[in-house]
Structure 1
Amino acid sequence: MKRIALLAAFLTTTAAAAQSAPSPERQIDALFATWNQPGKPGAVVGVIRDGKVLFTKRYGMADIERGVPMSPSAKFFIGSMSKQFTAFAIHLLAHDGKLSLDDDIHMYLPDVPDFGRKITIRHLLQHTSGLRDYFDLMAMAGLRPGDVIEEDKALALIRRQRTLNFEPGQEWDYSNTGYVLLARIVEHVSGKPFPEFARERIFVPLGMTHTLFQQDYRTLVPGRVLSYVPADTGGYRFAPVNISMAGDGGVLTTMGDLALWDRNFYDGRVGGMDVVRQMQVTGVLNDGKPIEYAAGLFVHAYRGLRLVEHSGMAGGYGNQLWRFPDQHLSVMVFANTSDIDTDLTVRRIADMVLDRVPGAAPASPSAPATTFKEIRLDPARLDALVGFYATSPQSGITFTKENGRLMALGMGFPKMPAFPYSERDFFARMTDSRFSFDPPGPDGIVAGGILHWGEQDIPATRTARPIPSAAELKRVEGDFYSDELHVLYSITGKDGDLVLTYPGGTVTLGFNGERDYATGFGTIKYQCSADGCTGFTMSTDRARNVQFTRVALASPSR
């Protein structure tokens, strides 16, 4: 209660508070009211000013199965927020004179391909190296939900890459690969395992006794908060984070320990203020264009004030730490369920405080977030909706009924469930899209509908589905191999669709000729000529143009 009073005092003494406004505690409670009840996961929030915790509160459950409520000492897996600790370790070694940020990484990591280009430690720190993201590469190679992400497998993938996304320093593109390699550089230079170096040089000196880099997901961590995601059938399901590596992520910590870390940015107790300043120096691209990323931290402006921040997400965990260094003010939100929008909640809590801070610009008005809640619908009502709906002469959506649920397959997109939020309106959780069916006619037939795609409303007409010819399918069918991933994709025609089979399972792609196909883990772009299609590239934003080549597999001998 004392901390709540401190926050209330700050908000009421820095400006005249409106008498009719709810208390700060009630405003924050309202943000998490949905989850602050039995049987639901939740969050821990905190507001810090001048090194003092003004406010901290917890909501929901840390462990639903065992009925363990959230507590102030709860340990969260903070995902990519861990990158600032990896970057700090590098800066400590640079301050010690053990390395330079402009060193070629091959001085320390000779087994990383050189690609014919110099990649520096600074490139890794600032996400300008051009290295493909290993998470995306693993997904392309067939990573399944529940598979363990191990360091040796990630490093093996990195070593097999033959090209970069772009020339080092040419672009900014977030890459987890860079921070995996930074942790290996710390090990090479210090002669110690990376988690041990972080514990000895950062966590112990700061008194962060509840913080660790977890390099094996099986390690027992007392007080660990479990991770959840909403279940399609209602309620929640457990979402394990099976990651056995550290550098790009891997930290488990508490709100109290992160408050100690936050204070170090003002007193430089560990590393000194020069290292603290270097951590917040943002990068510059080859063409002189500045970027907003420094060393494991974004540095930009919010409401006219300097903001240093980073988020972290993994499984159902969502984490935010916003620091306004000139005001000595920080806001933290840690959640253990993916349906809490931590970016929105940290922003609203920050706005609540910044409204009373001299010099802060007014908050920009924002439209309330639109959320769609699934309703129960009699499966018999879905029969009238099944069919093909053309959105253009070349594309459309096929709706099928499977196990009492409506499924949607767009041409070039993976099949996904469509969730009803009214009798004729459905939304997809995997994409920013909705579909509204027309009312049925006198004959009971639904003649069309509207695809809401982002900000577009695209009319769709129910019609007979175009079926590709055998010759059309033959051009794009076949077996395709990537030696960078060591993986084989088999693409075959089935019932007028293309079906991709790979180590991760089977994906129905639809059919759209030789145009791009989205798979859910990358986009296929065929390479074709008049003689046929010899291969394709698979791309994501963070792993571009991974080459697949058509191969002829030997028939099994009889």
Structure 2
Amino acid sequence: MSIHRLVTGAAVALATFAVAAPTHAADTKAELKTLVKEDGYPAALASTRTAGGRVTNTTAGVGNLKTRERVPVDGEVRIGSNTKTFTAVVVLQLVKEGKLELDAPVERYLPGLIPNGANISLRQLLNHTSGLPNYTNFLAEGLLPYQHWYAEPRTLLDIALKDKPTHEPGAAFAYSNTNYLVAGLIVEAITHRPIGEQITNRIIRPLNLKRTYFPTPGEERLRGPHPHGYHHDDPALPLTDVSVQDPSFGWAAGQMVSTPSELNRFFVALVNGRLLPPNLMREMLTTVPAPDFGEQARYGLGMVTRPLACGGLSYGHGGTITGYSTTNAATDDGRAAAVAVTNLPRTQEQHRRIEAVVERALCD
């Protein structure tokens, strides 16, 4: 999983690059074909949205290496750490309702559960400055042994807390899936309902996202048309089809499924203020330097901002989980782009090439 960052040192976030804008939407199709050909992804999917709301969905490659079937247009993909933005929105809506406070200590909501919880704030969880160690470090030696592994959130927390903190709370930015694991536990402690249900009722249904969902416990198969996802722990070995997998190790940090176009709709709605009031959008967009995401990237509360080569900022997150990697961003005037591939990028250069496709689409 990377759930945006699979393990320490394997950043999925990408730098911003100064690139020329394409002259027409067909360029995105051509760029997807190049990604498939040069970087070996079985499939690539993209959805772009103009400021006027025109949506274009494109694909390249094959949706199934065995049958050679076509890639479903705007097919379902596992969106990894984009889940964090959904979780952050739920937390901020609970702040709006007076049920949570951003600068309250974790200890208030999960008494006795988190070491040093009295000195870690909810805000520090959401902007990755808590210092909590990353529970997904245990996946460093390989993902395939965990393809069908079901994990309770508390099991994942126990794994995290075997390691020492990375730094004192508030001292630095250090991307850790554990932060959003704890945020999900806080949501459930306050609402007495599952985090997936809260995301569904507060975000998915109001936005009418029909193909976006938080898989239920034990749900391994994608529900709708989708490209198959592939992975190999050893690049010398053949790819393994990991479309059927248990995503529970992602939970509130990375378990969700969506399509490229619906992911764009979510981020456009969020940036346009449909999910949070202005004061809480300002909190979400109060950022800290996030070098893991690129030289000029900054991290807010579940949101990454980057300057665009054509001016202004992009807002998004991105994420990976076994077999799927999604890079996406939106602008405050309604433009959006999402690119998903069906194997994890292996190098930073491969990450950069996908990010460049997204930026070019936004700057078209």
The letter of the residue matching 1:214 is P
SS of equivalent residue, structure 1 residue 57: strand
Distance 1:235 1:205, change over 3 A: same
Task: Summarize deviations over 1:425-466 as a string: whole Å, max 9, x none.
Answer: xxxxxxxxxxxxxxxxxxxxxxxxxxxxxxxxxxxxxxxxxx
Q: Is the 8 A contact 1:112 1:159 kept in 2?
A: no
The letter of the residue matching 1:347 is A
Question: In 2, Cα distance between the equivalents of 1:217 and 1:190?
Answer: 23
For structure 1, the 5+ residue unaligned runs are 1-16, 357-558
SS of equivalent residue, structure 2 residue 228: coil
Q: Is the 8 A contact 2:72 2:227 kept in 1?
A: no
Once the two structures are TM-superposed, the CA of residue 81 in structure 1 deviates from its matched residue by: 1.4
Residue in structure 1 matching 2:241, options 238, 241, 244: 238
Once the two structures are TM-superposed, the CA of residue 198 in structure 1 deviates from its matched residue by: 0.6
In the other structure, the counterpart of 1:328 is 334
Q: Is the 8 A contact 1:62 1:74 kept in 2?
A: no
Once the two structures are TM-superposed, the CA of residue 115 in structure 1 deviates from its matched residue by: 3.0
Once the two structures are TM-superposed, the CA of residue 107 in structure 1 deviates from its matched residue by: 1.3
In the other structure, the counterpart of 2:144 is 145
TM-score by length of 2: 0.79
In the other structure, the counterpart of 1:317 is 324
Residue in structure 1 matching 2:359, options 336, 350, 354: 350
More helix by share: 2
In the other structure, the counterpart of 2:12 is none
Q: Which runs of structure 2 are paired with 1:271-350 in the superposition (5 Å)? A: 271-283=276-288, 292-303=298-309, 304-325=311-332, 327-339=333-345, 341-350=350-359
In the other structure, the counterpart of 2:129 is 128
Q: Which has the higher contact order (CA 8 A, sep 6+)?
A: 2
Question: In 1, Cα distance between the equivalents of 2:286 and 2:300?
Answer: 5
Equivalent pairs counted in the alignment come to: 327
Residue in structure 2 matching 1:250, options 235, 240, 255: 255
Question: In 2, Cα distance between the equivalents of 1:158 and 1:114?
Answer: 11
Q: Is the 8 A contact 2:330 2:362 kept in 1?
A: no
Percent identity over the alignment is: 23
Flag as ranges the 4+ runs of structure 1 deviating above 6 A: none
Task: Summarize deviations over 1:265-314 as a string: whole Å, max 9, x none.
Answer: 354333344443432221489xxxx9821011112323242222322112
In the other structure, the counterpart of 1:110 is 111
Question: In 1, Cα distance between the equivalents of 2:362 and 2:195?
Answer: 37
Distance 1:187 1:293, change over 3 A: same
For structure 2, the 5+ residue unaligned runs are 1-19, 291-295
CA RMSD in angstroms, aligned pairs only: 3.2
Q: Which runs of structure 2 are paired with 1:135-284 in the superposition (5 Å)? A: 135-136=136-137, 138-139=138-139, 145-147=144-146, 148=149, 150-151=151-152, 152-160=154-162, 163-216=164-217, 218-223=219-224, 224-229=226-231, 232=235, 236-239=239-242, 241-245=245-249, 246-283=251-288
Task: Summarize deviations over 1:485-508 as a string: whole Å, max 9, x none.
Answer: xxxxxxxxxxxxxxxxxxxxxxxx
Which structure: larger Rg? 1
Q: Is the 8 A contact 2:29 2:59 kept in 1?
A: no
Question: In 1, Cα distance between the equivalents of 2:132 and 2:35?
Answer: 41
Once the two structures are TM-superposed, the CA of residue 235 in structure 1 deviates from its matched residue by: 6.1
Distance 1:268 1:160, change over 3 A: same
More strand by share: 1
Distance 1:23 1:234, change over 3 A: farther
Question: In 2, Cα distance between the equivalents of 1:59 and 1:91?
Answer: 37
The letter of the residue matching 1:320 is T
Once the two structures are TM-superposed, the CA of residue 31 in structure 1 deviates from its matched residue by: 4.1
TM-score by length of 1: 0.53
Q: Is the 8 A contact 2:133 2:161 kept in 1?
A: no
Once the two structures are TM-superposed, the CA of residue 139 in structure 1 deviates from its matched residue by: 4.2
